[in-house]
């Protein structure tokens, strides 16, 4: 299946890599994140649906990122250009959204930094995979 030249195998692989990155990231920073998010570990519930929503969302992100990277043009889809594109999209769309939402929700900057670095890692991981595999 081909849509606008997107390599769907690279999109799926990018989403899987991002999901694994997130598992390792929050596995390492789970306690500080719960504290920043005001979640009591004793009351925390991990529904399988959270993982489904996370993966589907990352799949959509990878698809959109591949489309944006593909717009760089012929011969411009490289690992470096894909990572830079992913970082720009993170800064302009993801980091700003987190900053605004967390301020309105009265969370501290610690949560914004933890979540923001996670999403930067996700975007850069996706960009690297897509840049390596091609769109």
Residue 116: partners with Cβ closer than 8 Å, 6 or more residues away: 94, 95, 98, 99
Q: What is the predicted pLDDT for the residue at 11?
A: 96
What pLDDT is recorded for position 59? Answer: 98
Q: Strand runs (DSSP E) across 15-130, as ranges?
A: none
Distance CA 54, CA 62 (A): 12
φ and ψ of 109, to 5 deg? -65, -20
Cα gap 53→46, rounded to integer Å = 12
Nearest Cα to 108, choosing from 21, 32, 29? Answer: 32
Look at residue 4 in the predicted model and tell me its pLDDT: 62
Q: From first to last of its 135 residues, what are the pLDDT tens digits of the chain?
A: 345 678 999 999 999 999 999 999 999 999 999 999 999 998 988 899 999 999 999 999 999 999 999 999 888 999 999 999 999 999 999 999 999 999 999 999 999 999 999 999 999 999 999 999 987
Number of H helices and E strands in the chain, helices first, is 5, 0
**Where do the domains of the chain lie?**
8-133
Answer positive or negative: Cα dihedral of 41, 28, 55, 36: positive
Are the beta carbons of 26 and 121 closer than 8 angstroms?
no
Measured distance CA(9)–CA(78) in Å, rounded: 17
Q: What is the pLDDT of residue 5?
A: 76
Nearest residue to 55 (alpha-carbon basis) of 2, 8, 12? 12
* pLDDT, position 1: 36
């Amino acid at each position: 299946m081909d849509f606008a030249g997107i390599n769907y195998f690279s999109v799926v692989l990018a989403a899987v890599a991002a999901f694994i990155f997130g598992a390792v990231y929050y596995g390492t920073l789970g306690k500080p994140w719960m504290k920043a998010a005001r979640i009591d570990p004793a009351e925390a519930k991990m529904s399988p649906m959270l993982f489904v929503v996370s993966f589907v969302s990352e799949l959509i992100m990878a698809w959109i990122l591949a489309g944006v990277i593909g717009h760089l043009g012929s011969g411009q889809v490289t690992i470096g250009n894909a990572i830079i594109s992913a970082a720009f999209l993170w800064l302009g769309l993801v980091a700003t959204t987190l900053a605004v939402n967390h301020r309105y929700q009265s969370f501290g900057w610690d949560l914004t930094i933890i979540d923001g670095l996670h999403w930067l890692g996700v975007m850069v991981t996706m960009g690297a995979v897509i840049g390596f595999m091609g769109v």
